[in-house]
Amino acid sequence: MAQNEYAQAQTAQSRAWSAGEKYLFRTAFIFFIICCIPLNIEWYKTALGINIFDLHYRDLYDIARFNPSFVRKWFDIKVDRWGFQAFIDWLFILGFALVAATFWSVLDRGRKEYNQLYYWLRVIVRYRAAVGIIAFGFTKFFPTQMPYPSESLLNNNFGDLTGHKIFWLSISIVPWFQVFTGVAEILAGTLLFFRRTTFIGAALLVGTLGTIMVVNLAYDGGVHVYAGYFVLLGTFLMVYDFRNLYRLFIQEKFTVPVHYYPALDKPWQKYGRLVLKTAVIVIFLPVLFYYQGINFLYDPYKQPAVSGIRELRGFYNVTEFKINGRELPYSPLDTVRWQEVIFEKWTSMSYKVNKPVSLDLSNGGGDPMRDIDRTFEVSGVAGGRRVFHYQADTVHHILYLRDKNTASIRGAKAAFEEGAGKQKQKPEDNWIPETSLRYIKDEATAIHPLAISDRRIKEYKRLGEEDYLRPKMKLQYSTQDGNRVILTGYNEYNETLYIVLDKVDRKYAVSESSLSAGRYD
Amino acid sequence: MSTTIPVNDISTGQLSKSELAAWNTLQKVSFRFAFSFVLLLAIPLDWHYYQKVFSIDWGNLYYGDIFTLARYFPGFLTGTESFADLFFVAGIAGIATLVWSALDKDRLDYRTLYYWLRVSARYRLAAGVIAYAWLKIFLLQSPAPVLSELNTQYGEFTHWKLFSLSLGAAPVYEQFLGWVELTAGILLLHRKTAIIGAAILFAFLGNIFLSNLAYEGGEYVYSSYLIIFVLIILFYDAGRIISLLSLEKPTVPNLFHPVFSPVVAKLRWVLKGAFVLVFVVLYGFKVSAGAKENPHNIPVAKGLPGISGVYDVRDFVLNGDTIPYDPLHPVRWQQVVFEEWATVSIRSNREVVLFEQKTEIVNGADRKKLYDVSGVIRRHFYWYDWDQGSNVLKLANKNPNHSEDVFELIYTRPDDHTILVEGRISGNQQIKARLERIDKKYLFKEGRRTPQTL
């Protein structure tokens, strides 16, 4: 009886494919190949431009992060990045795949099954998903994707944050939990490298990234398409085993799994496979681990890396405020007077004032190398908080400050770009006098040598057009003991300022973590 | 290229046999322990529980009552929820295992009893998760942030409060989690789909357990308690999953099918039906009604008409002295928020002794609803009583650490955005204040889809 059952089970599972199955497979093949192979020139330029002798974690991240996106480039239609309409590329590719599969069906009528092609398609999808999710996971494993909130963020009203910021911060405050989510993602990816653990890896991938997709839809995080991309790949990988699982668990029948594995027995095939597989695993596990670790320790990519002036750090009450010689008393409603000043452990100073500004509504992420462009502390935040990046001449005690929020100068930027075609204006890169410049440290090299890369040096040399359009302040600081600080100088409107700050030992209910990124000694 | 089909050398006859063979001593002893342990965990034997059950007003059932029924925990030792209780139960189960092993030596296997063990685990777990599922689906577990919370600074909340506020800030996400939980719970009710439900809950409850640790919440013991049932259900099928998916071997399905006597077969449907009726249908219905009439985290007593809003404290007179705006003054009010319901919160530097409610308490009495006052500093929350005829507000601090903070304010409203209040606040200080409503737009509500100037 048992032998009979065995044979039955086997034939039931290794029969020829129906016409419908074949058409479905052809469609899936075309669809997932388009999804898994980078089809834009930029990707290849980036990949070829990498200096492998001077790697940065972001080089590997950039290679790993791509998903199909043509519709907005090819067609002149307006599609928002929000909500379900952002999935339009999938619909487009599906339409194409359905049509192409029809032609394929006509040309390949004699075919009984696609077992081998299915195997190779699964290999491509497995590796694509694995590499993508591991690169994503490492930014959480070394908690930098959601950086611990700056002190200025802690002093912002809950209602003055975007939904996106609220969710991101809720992970920021628990770095150890973020490590755990990174472990889950890296584990899912690692399991996909091996065919015997593929189903479990894919299930883990669908569970974690499915949640991230919903989170992005619910909080307007804007990354739902990329998260959904992994859900799609993971689901495709899981479908392979559904028939057997259904048979074993729901029908409760004896199940003989039949798998088609190519016999790679020629030496070039055997060693080729071994070399390729090992290379991918080594690059995206130990190598990426090392570079991401360096990033976490010395240059956390969403928060400024250069350490700020030690004696100034802290939360201050603005005891006295004079503008153009006129004193303004404290009022939470005054549209000019500063209310509180915070010096972060890095090179940021912020104050609060009851005056609306155009807000930076970005995710505050990306791959900026320069501290001034690392905007997590200012993006998605309202409530009158102004955040400035400073360069400090510590001999003459002068701070040269530039606004970190570039949303307010977008109009000016557009106007400049228009004019730029007619006459190339020389960027005003000498607003800091030579007498000070020599005492200001070079930010590009002011972090730990291990974290300095080609990429960083190059980007620090670039001066963006927004740099000389940014609101600027020049403030001289003096302090005896760090408890009282006096700032004098000019704001962005060239009004003179005289400000007396007194340090406040600010208590927070949210507790600090034992795990913190960057070095700010 | 060629294809290979891995064929296992163990004949299926042998496999089937092992599936039906007598159990060895280790299997039997482990089973006796698992059975005693899980039953002691699942069956409500803790007298603390019955105190709650007997206080339920069955004629006037509130959804919180069914929630309380479902949220049983064997707190024999501590009366609360502690890992010590779980170890205590494990100890008792150990003793039971010894006695049982001594008395029942000739037994070949416990397949039938194993079935009933899984049934207990499945239903206990299903009730546990469905109780929370409906609360999330109707947005009751984490309500949307209220006006006072929108005007409180991020760093002034505890981790646990921020976790809940963040969830409440995204109704779609909270409902999604609720539907996942409900689906998993319902899958547990059917023998063949229980494995899917358990697999989902392994990830889901594992996450809740770690969130409770990370955010300093109070349900890490209860979530671990539920995870024990998940593991029992998963364990039964784990071998088959590994065999089929990872070892890629021919795999024998579950061969045990319970045989019920006619009476049990009928009773089974009655009990199953009753379970679905109470925890899925009746409870779901009660929660949906409760969400409209009396949500457990939001008071329902109406506030003064048209008063809700954020107020700047324009003038403040303390014992006859006018105190100008001063962010550091120890007494002066900085901001006052009136909610739609009879709650007012006052921001000042007067110290708040932190109160934290870290577990889900579902109570329908306004004065037992402590969600807003929990996990926040630099703001005092008050219930207030008012009546049509008088101009007196009777305030009582919600924070149990400040229960002595009770006072009366005489108020006048010269126009619809101004309130004048006068009274003697705690510390026997005479105050007079002029409150002016601020029109404020919240980025949280405006969103990030269009450019904002705020």
CATH number at residue B403: 2.40.128.280
Q: Which residues, at least 6 apart from A25, have a Cβ–Cβ distance to it below 8 Å?
A: A17, A114, A117, A118
Do B268 and B338 lie in one domain? The reply is no
Distance from A56 to chain B by nearest Cα, in Å? 31
Chain B positions touching A317 (Cβ under 8 A) are: 327-328
Chain A positions touching B162 (Cβ under 8 A) are: 169-170, 173, 510
Do B284 and B347 lie in one domain? The reply is no
A310-423+430-504 to CATH, choices 2.40.128.280, 2.60.15.10, 3.30.1780.10, 1.10.357.10: 2.40.128.280
Distance from B377 to chain A by nearest Cα, in Å? 7
Secondary element (H or E) of residue A411: helix A410-420
Do B274 and B411 lie in one domain? The reply is no
Average pLDDT of the residues of chain B: 94
Range of the domain at B425: 309-439
Best mutation target, B17, B142, B154, to test chain A (most A CBs within 10 A) = B154
- What are A252's two structure tokens? 């409760």
**DSSP-assigned letters across all residues of A92-159:** HHHHHHHHHHHHHHHHTTT----HHHHHHHHHHHHHHHHHHHHHHHHHHHTT-SSPPPPHHHHTSBGG
B301 assigned to some structural domain: no
Does the pLDDT value for residue B159 go beyond 50? yes
**In angstroms, rounded to a whole number, what is the distance separating the alpha carbons of residues B109 and B96?**
18
B215 assigned to some structural domain: yes
Chain A positions touching B254 (Cβ under 8 A) are: 249, 252
Chain B positions touching A380 (Cβ under 8 A) are: 443, 448
CB distance B252–A382 less than 8 Å? no
CB distance B443–A504 less than 8 Å? no
CB distance B327–A317 less than 8 Å? yes
B130 assigned to some structural domain: yes
Best mutation target, A206, A223, A245, A510, to test chain B (most B CBs within 10 A) = A510
**In angstroms, rounded to a whole number, what is the distance separating the alpha carbons of residues B118 and B237?**
11
Which of A217, A357, A511 has the CB atom closest to B172's CB atom?
Answer: A217
CB distance A380–B150 less than 8 Å? no
CB distance A509–B158 less than 8 Å? yes
Question: Structural domain tally of chain B?
Answer: 2
Chain A positions touching B11 (Cβ under 8 A) are: 2-3, 6
CB distance A166–B453 less than 8 Å? no
Contact with chain B for residue A500, Cβ under 8 A: no
CB distance B447–A162 less than 8 Å? yes
Residue in B closest to A158 by C-alpha: B150
CB distance A163–B170 less than 8 Å? yes
CB distance B3–A164 less than 8 Å? no
Does the pLDDT value for residue B303 go beyond 90? yes
Do B226 and B184 lie in one domain? The reply is yes
What was the pLDDT predicted at B21?
A: 84
Secondary element (H or E) of residue B433: strand B429-438
CB distance B150–A214 less than 8 Å? no
Kindly report, as residue ranges, where domains of CATH 2.40.128.280 are found in chain A: 310-423+430-504
Task: Say if residues A399 and A474 touch (Cβ distance below 8 Å).
Answer: yes
Task: Tell me how many residue pairs between chain A and chain B have CB atoms under 8 A apart.
Answer: 250
Helix (H, G, I), strand (E, B) or coil at B93: helix
**In angstroms, rounded to a whole number, what is the distance separating the alpha carbons of residues A344 and A152?**
8
Does the pLDDT value for residue B5 go beyond 60? no
CB distance A381–B443 less than 8 Å? yes
Do B260 and B168 lie in one domain? The reply is yes
What was the pLDDT predicted at A120?
A: 96
B299 assigned to some structural domain: no
CB distance A218–B325 less than 8 Å? no
Final residue before a domain boundary, out of B262, B293, B324:
B293
Residue in B closest to A168 by C-alpha: B166
Distance from A246 to chain B by nearest Cα, in Å? 10
Does the pLDDT value for residue B392 go beyond 60? yes
Distance from A109 to chain B by nearest Cα, in Å? 22
Which of B215, B248, B312 has the CB atom closest to A259's CB atom?
Answer: B248
Do B276 and B344 lie in one domain? The reply is no
Residue in B closest to A384 by C-alpha: B454
B427 assigned to some structural domain: yes
**DSSP-assigned letters across all residues of B192-246:** TTHHHHHHHHHHHHHHHHHHHHHTT-S-HHHHHHHHHHHHHHHHHHHHHHIIIII
Number of Cβ within 10 Å of residue A502's Cβ equals: 14
What was the pLDDT predicted at B178?
A: 98
Best mutation target, A155, A249, A375, to test chain B (most B CBs within 10 A) = A249
pTM, two decimals, is: 0.95
Chain A positions touching B252 (Cβ under 8 A) are: 254
What was the pLDDT predicted at A418?
A: 62
CB distance B244–A167 less than 8 Å? no
Contact with chain B for residue A86, Cβ under 8 A: no
CB distance A3–B11 less than 8 Å? yes
Q: Which long-range contacts (C-beta less than 8 Å, at least 24 apart) are formed by B46-49?
A: B46/B72, B46/B73, B46/B74, B46/B75, B46/B76, B48/B75, B48/B79
Task: Say if residues A431 and A440 touch (Cβ distance below 8 Å).
Answer: no
Contact with chain B for residue A177, Cβ under 8 A: yes
Contact with chain B for residue A357, Cβ under 8 A: yes
Residue appearing with tokens 């003991």: A481
CB distance A254–B250 less than 8 Å? yes
Chain B positions touching A116 (Cβ under 8 A) are: 1, 3
**In angstroms, rounded to a whole number, what is the distance separating the alpha carbons of residues B77 and B89?**
9
CB distance B375–A509 less than 8 Å? yes
Distance from B18 to chain A by nearest Cα, in Å? 13
- Amino acid identity, residue A229? Y
CB distance A154–B442 less than 8 Å? no
Contact with chain B for residue A483, Cβ under 8 A: no
Contact with chain B for residue A174, Cβ under 8 A: yes
What was the pLDDT predicted at B9?
A: 38
With bands split at pLDDT 50, 70 and 90, how would you rate the model's confidence at B6?
A: very low
Secondary element (H or E) of residue A327: strand A326-327
Which of B6, B216, B327 has the CB atom closest to A330's CB atom?
Answer: B327
**In angstroms, rounded to a whole number, what is the distance separating the alpha carbons of residues A257 and B245?**
8
Chain A positions touching B454 (Cβ under 8 A) are: 160, 356-357, 359, 382-383
Distance from A376 to chain B by nearest Cα, in Å? 15
What was the pLDDT predicted at B15?
A: 52
What was the pLDDT predicted at B162?
A: 98
CB distance B377–A507 less than 8 Å? yes
Q: Which of A120, A73, A119, A68 is nearest to A94 (CA)?
A: A68
Does the pLDDT value for residue B2 go beyond 50? no
CB distance A220–B153 less than 8 Å? no
CB distance B4–A407 less than 8 Å? no
CB distance A359–B444 less than 8 Å? no
Contact with chain B for residue A200, Cβ under 8 A: yes
- What are A374's two structure tokens? 């690392």
Which of A151, A167, A260 has the CB atom closest to B166's CB atom?
Answer: A167
- What are A61's two structure tokens? 């991240």
- What are B55's two structure tokens? 């206080």
Do B289 and B316 lie in one domain? The reply is no
Buried b / exposed e over B137-169, threshold 16 CB at 10 Å, is bbbbbbbbbbbbbbbbbbbbbbbbbbbbbbbbb
Do B247 and B319 lie in one domain? The reply is no
Do B155 and B276 lie in one domain? The reply is yes
* Beta-ladder partners of B424: B430
What was the pLDDT predicted at A73?
A: 80
Q: pLDDT in tens for each of the 521 residues of chain A? A: 456 666 666 666 567 899 999 999 999 999 999 999 998 899 999 999 998 889 999 999 999 999 998 888 888 777 888 888 899 999 999 999 999 999 999 999 989 999 999 999 999 999 999 999 999 999 999 999 999 999 999 999 999 999 999 999 999 999 999 999 999 999 999 999 999 999 999 999 999 999 999 999 999 999 999 999 999 999 999 999 999 999 999 999 999 999 999 999 999 999 999 999 999 999 999 999 999 999 999 999 999 999 999 999 999 999 999 999 999 999 999 999 999 999 999 999 999 999 999 999 999 988 999 999 999 999 999 999 999 999 999 999 999 999 999 997 876 666 656 655 444 455 555 789 999 999 999 999 999 999 999 899 999 988 766 777 899 999 999 998 889 999 999 999 999 999 999 999 999 999 889 999 999 98
Chain B positions touching A218 (Cβ under 8 A) are: 170-173, 176
B3 assigned to some structural domain: no
What was the pLDDT predicted at A3?
A: 60
Number of Cβ within 10 Å of residue A27's Cβ equals: 20
